[in-house]
Each structure stands twice: as structure tokens, then as C-alpha cells.
Structure 1
Amino acid sequence: MKTFASLVLALACVPAWAAAPTSDESADVAVDALYDTVAALDAAMFDAFNRCSTPEQLRRHASYFAPDVEFYHDTGGVTWSREAMLANTREHACGHFSRELVPGTLRVYPIHGFGAIEQGTHRFCQTSTGRCDGVADFTIVWRRLEGRWQVTRVLSYGHLASL
């Protein structure tokens, strides 16, 4: 009993700041939470993209993008709106190929007061053959506005055939 009382007394003397997380630890938790949020958004957005040959999935995919989204594609050019981007997606992607995130490549960076930057590498798999023979890097800018996340800019570049 005396040992227990000594332990309680010793713990009572520990300053409150010793047990509280540091600002670095809090920042790490916030970055981890942001990473998890953006990774989940990416997975959901591309789940819809991969099934966009159905109108409801194309609409679901579209819902992730701001109306004035800018999409820069090194081989396809630039689109300046969600509608133009969706027209390209409908014509060139839906039913033709799917997108997979290359494991271990996703990186997420906070943008103070705005949202996040997502970077990574993805590969593209042909629907007809199942072959994943294309690869590219991407950067996506996400804006969080009134609790809702939307893509405002996309860069898809370095398109190559997979080795």
C-alpha cells in the first residue's frame, strides 16, 4: 500500500506538460489524419472513375471536381472546366481503362487555410485485356470549403508505357 501511495504522489508531481502532446506530435497527428482523408477521397473518386461507363458513376466521379477545375495532361492538353474534363473522360476513359494507384507512392501535403496537395504515381489498365501498360505521375490540389473536399487542379504527366 505504501508503494501505491508513493506512486500516486510521484505522478501527482509530474507537470501537466510532460504528458501533453507536443505541438510536433499534434502536427504529426493532423498530417496523418489529412493523409487518411485524402487517400480515402482518392480511392472513392477513382472507384467511380473506374466504373464511369454507367451514368450514375460518372456523376459520382464528377462530384469530386470543382466546376472550374483545371486539368493539365501532358499528352491530352488542358481542360478548363468540369464539363470539358468529363467530356474527355467519357470519350477516352470510360469503358476503355481503369486507374490504379501505385502502392507506396501517395504523398499528401497540407495547404494552410485551403486544403491539400496530393502526389503519386498511377498506372492504367486496359479494360479489354486487363493489361496495366501505362504509368504516369499526378498532382491533385484539393480544396476544403464548408466541410466539403473538391479537386481544383489536376496535373497528370510523365505518361509512359509500363516496363
Structure 2
Amino acid sequence: MKTPTYRFLIAIAFLLSCIFWGNNVQAQATQKHVDQQLYNTILHMDSVCFDAYNNHDIQTLKKVFSENLEFYHDLGGLTNYEQNIQAFERIFVQNKVSGMKRELVKGSLEVYPIKDYGAIEVGMHRFTHMENGKEVVGLMKFLHVWQYKNNEWKITRIISYDH
């Protein structure tokens, strides 16, 4: 039986260091600092916004969205506050009984602070509605920019993508 050569030992040491380094980088990526209070606040505001959506409550939606809203949609392009409020009103009239709703995908929410402005909310959501007697489900990604101003949280930017 041959004794291990130095090349073999160096290769083993290199592989082990790669495995250790890769696991260490992965552990660091999953251990980012989370501001729990900010996370809880944005999670709450997300539920306020989409409870209003699910209940066709246009007045609450008007309060949650900033009047300088910019909504970037990968398929629909760029729209503003007025265009979105009008679109919600049309959708709500057309879908009174369709079971249309939005749910945040559990475990997908990420929240990041924006110094002297507010927060970024990133996640995935599921939209469902009935069409021709069948439930249609869409899973999409989103990014919301929240501004905290005058003791109120409002969405100023939305990016909806991966449709």
C-alpha cells in the first residue's frame, strides 16, 4: 500500500477549506441582522394593505398608498396613484363574488431599513380568483418601498415582477 503523497494531502486540505468556507459564507448570509420591530411593523402594514384589498376597501387602500406612488409592473409598465386607485375600483366592481384574494407567502418576507426614509419590503405573494368555475392561482415577487412620514407608513414605490 502506497503512502499518501503531498499532492493528495494538499488536494484534501483544499477541498476541506472550500467546504468550510462555503458553509461559513452561507451561515453569514442567513444570519443578517434583522430589526424585529421594523419587521413586525412592515408585516403589520402589509396585512393592513392587503386586508383592504381582499375586502375591497378602497378607502383604506387610498390611505396606505402615497399620492406620489409609482407602480412598476413587469407586464403592465409604470402606473401612478390615480391609475391604481381607478384600477382597484374597476377590479372590485368586476370581482364582487369571485373570491379574489392576496396572501403573503409564509417565510418569504424580508424587510430592510432605509435611513431617514422608511423600509424596503421584499417577498412573494399569491393571488387567487375564480375564473370559469376554477380557482386560478398566481405566484409573484414584489418589492415595496415604505415611507414613514408624519407618523404614517405609506407605500411610495411598488415593483411587481416574475409574472
SS in 2 for 1:121: strand
**What secondary structure does 1:75 align onto?**
coil
Query: Residues 62-102 of structure 1, C-alpha deviation per residue, up to 9 Å, x if partnerless?
Result: 2101101000111122112x111111222246625211101
Contiguous gaps of at least 5 residues in structure 2: 1-32
The normalised TM-score by structure 2 is 0.71
Supply the distance in 2 between the matched residues of 1:45 and 1:127 (Cα, whole angstroms). 22
Structure-2 residue corresponding to 1:131: 135
Cα distance, 1:144 vs structure 2: 0.3
Measured in 1, the distance between the counterparts of 2:58 and 2:89 equals 8
Q: Deviations over 1:110-158 (max 9, x none)?
A: 0010000000000111045573521100000000012111110000100
Please say if residues 123 and 132 of structure 1, whose CA atoms lie closer than 8 Å, have aligned partners that are also in contact: no
1:62 corresponds to: 62
- Change beyond 3 A, Cα 1:112–1:130: farther
Matched position secondary structure for 1:63? helix
Q: CA–CA distance in 2 between the matches of 1:119 and 1:108?
A: 6
Once residues 83 and 103 of structure 2 are traced to their aligned partners in structure 1, the CA distance between those partners, rounded to angstroms, is 23
Unaligned 5+ segments in structure 1 are 1-27
Structure 1's consecutive aligned runs of 4 or more residues displaced over 3 angstroms after TM superposition are: 127-130
CA–CA distance in structure 2, aligned partners of residues 33 and 156 of structure 1: 25
Letter in 2 for 1:42: D
Which runs of structure 2 are paired with 1:13-162 in the superposition (5 Å)? 31-52=35-56, 57-80=57-80, 82-92=81-91, 95=95, 96=98, 97-127=100-130, 131-159=135-163
**TM superposition shift of 1:61:** 1.4
Listed one character per residue, the Cα deviations across residues 19-53 of structure 1 (whole Å, up to 9, x for unaligned) are xxxxxxxxx67x1000000000000110000111x
Answer yes or no: is the 8 Å Cα contact 2:130–2:136 preserved in 1. Answer: no
For the residues of structure 1 that align with 2:91 and 2:139, how far apart are their CA atoms?
16
Cα root mean square deviation, aligned: 2.0
Q: Secondary structure at the match of 1:140?
A: strand
Equivalents in 2 of 1:87, 1:41: separation in Å? 22
Letter of the 1:46 partner, please give it.
Answer: F
CA distance in 1, matches of 2:129, 2:109: 22
Percentage of pairs with the same residue: 37
The TM-score, its normalising length taken from structure 1, stands at 0.71
Q: Letter of the 1:49 partner, please give it.
A: Y
